[in-house]
Amino acid sequence: MEPFNTSHSNSTQSLIPASWRAAFLIGTVGIGLPANAFIIWLTGWRLKRRGLSIFILSLATSDFLFLSMTVIQIIETLLNDNWVLGAPMCRLHRFLFDLSYHCSLFLLAALSVDRCLLVLLPLWYRCHRPLRLSSYICLGAWLVAALLSIKGFIFVDLIPLQGFFPFIVMVTTHATTLARTLRRHTRPPSQFYRIVAATLSAYVLLNLPFQIIQLLFLASLDYEFIHRIFPFMVYFGYLINLSSSINPLIYIFFGSNICTGCGPHTTSSLARALTEEQGKSPGDTPSTSFSA
C-alpha cells in the first residue's frame, strides 16, 4: 500500500526502476483481487454471517477496495510517478486508498483486542460479550475510517501519521495473546485461532517497516535526511499491498485442510473455520449454513 501521495519526491523514485515496482504491484493485484473476491463471495453469500466470518467479510471487502485502487497506482508508477488523471480523481483515489487502509487496520486491531480478551478473560468473554458485537465493530470501523479519510480528500498533499496508534494496539494485544497462549500448552489451537494469529502476524511483520520509517520521516527536521528516506517509505508501503493480497491465502491455507486437495471438501472446511464462534473451545464443532 502507498497511503500518501508519491508526487512529493518524484526525483527520489529511481532507486528501484518503475517497471519493477509496477510488476510487483501487478502481481499483488493479480493474486489479491480474485482471492479476495472469492472470500467475499463465500462469507457474504454462502455462509451465515457470524463468528469470524463477519470480520473476514469486512476485511476482504476493504482489501478488495484497496487493491482496486492499486490499479490506478500502477498507472501512475508506469508514468514515472506522474499523476495525469486530474485533481478530482486524485482526491477520490486518495480518499478510497485511506478508507481501505484505515478500515483494514481498525478491523485487525479490533480483532486482536477481541482475541486478547478471549484468552485473558475467557469466562467473562463467553458470558458477557454481546452476540452482535462483531457486526457493530465492523460497522464502526468503516464509519471511523471514512471520517479519518476525509482529510485526505480535502488536503491531498497532507502526509499524516498513518495508522500508528491502532498498529501499536494491535502489536501489544497480539503479543500478549501469543505469550499467554504459548505458556499454556493445553490443547491444539482451533482453526479460528490459527487464522487470526497468522493474519495478525503477517500484517504486523509487513507493516512494521513502514511504521518505523514514517516515524523517522515525520520526526526529522533535516530536509536532506527526509529527502533520502522518502523512497523507502514508499517501498515499505508496497509491503502493505502484499498484505492485502496474502490475507485471503492465509484464510484458505489455515482454514482448510490443504493436504486433502482443492475442491468441495476444502471449501466446506474453510466455511466451518470462518463460522466458528470465537468463544468456543478448540474441541467444539461449529455448525455452518454452507451448501455446496
Domains annotated on the chain, with CATH = 6-274 (1.20.1070.10)
pLDDT of residue 131: 76
Residues 6+ away with beta carbon under 8 Å from 12: 227, 228, 230, 231
Q: Are 256 and 270 in contact (CB under 8 A)?
A: yes
The x, y and z cell numbers of residue 80, run together, are 514515472
Indicate the burial class of 253 (C-beta count within 10 angstroms; 0-12, 13-18, 19 or more). Answer: middle
Length of the chain: 292
Distances (CA, A) of 273 to 121, 151, 209: 22, 38, 31
Q: What is the mean pLDDT of residues 120-134?
A: 83
* Cα–Cα dist 22/72, whole Å: 11
DSSP single-letter state for residue 289: -
- Model confidence pLDDT, tens digit, residues 157-171: 555 556 778 889 999
What does the CA dihedral 173, 215, 244, 51 come to, rounded to 10 degrees? 20
pLDDT of residue 34: 96
Indicate yes or no: pTM above 0.95: no
Bigger pLDDT: 72 vs 258:
72
Given pLDDT bands bounded at 50, 70 and 90, which one contains residue 258?
very low
- Model confidence pLDDT, tens digit, residues 44-88: 887 777 667 888 999 999 999 999 999 998 998 888 888 888 888
